Amino acid sequence: MPGLLAHAVQISYRFPLPIWIYVLAGGMAVLASAPAAVVAVGADGSSWRSHPFRLPGLGRVGLVLSTTLFLYAVLVGLASPTEQSHLFFENAMTVLVWVDFWVGLGIVCGLVGNIWDSISPLSAAARALDGALARRQAPQLEYPERLGQWPAVLLVIGWSWAELIWSGAKDPRTLALMAIGYCVFTLAGAALFGAETWLANVELFTVVARTFGRFAPLEFRDGWARLRPYGAGLLDEPLPAGGGPLVVTLLATVVYDGFSQTTKFARLETWIFDRASWLHHPVHLLDTLLMLAIVLLFVLAYLLVAGSRRAANLYAPTLIPIAVVYFAAHYFSYLLLAGQQTIGAIVDPFGHDWNPWGLGEYPIHRGVTPAALVWWAQIALIVAGHVAAVFAAHRVALREGLPARRALVLQMPLVLLMVAYTMAGLWVLAQQIKA
Q: Summarize pLDDT for 314-332 with one digit per residue, the tens.
A: 888 988 998 999 899 889 8
Which has more pLDDT, 8 or 307?
307
Q: Report pLDDT for 85.
A: 52
- The model's pTM: 0.88
DSSP bridge partners of 226: 219
Spell out the domain ranges in the chain: 2-429
Q: Report pLDDT for 429.
A: 75
pLDDT beyond 60 at 376: yes
Mean pLDDT over all residues of the chain? Answer: 83
Q: Do residues 105 and 66 touch, judged by C-beta distance below 8 A?
A: no
Q: Summarize pLDDT for 267-301 with one digit per residue, the tens.
A: 898 898 888 888 877 778 899 999 999 999 998 98
Alpha-carbon Rg for the chain in angstroms? 22
Give the strands of the sheet with 224-227, arranged side by side: 53-54, 224-227, 218-221
Q: Report pLDDT for 43.
A: 47
DSSP string, 75-115: HHHHT--GGGTT-GGG-HHHIIIIIIIHHHHHHHHHHTB--
Q: Report pLDDT for 4.
A: 43
CA 303 from centre of chain: 20
Rounded-to-integer distance, Cα 92 and Cα 147, Å: 36
Max mean pLDDT among 208-217, 226-235, 386-395 falls in 208-217
Q: Summarize pLDDT for 337-352 with one digit per residue, the tens.
A: 888 888 888 888 777 7
Smallest CA-to-CA distance from 96 within 343, 369, 352 is with 343
Average pLDDT over every residue of 404-428: 77
Q: Summarize pLDDT for 69-114 with one digit per residue, the tens.
A: 999 999 999 988 766 555 777 788 999 999 999 999 999 999 999 9
pLDDT beyond 60 at 24: yes
Rounded-to-integer distance, Cα 101 and Cα 239, Å: 24
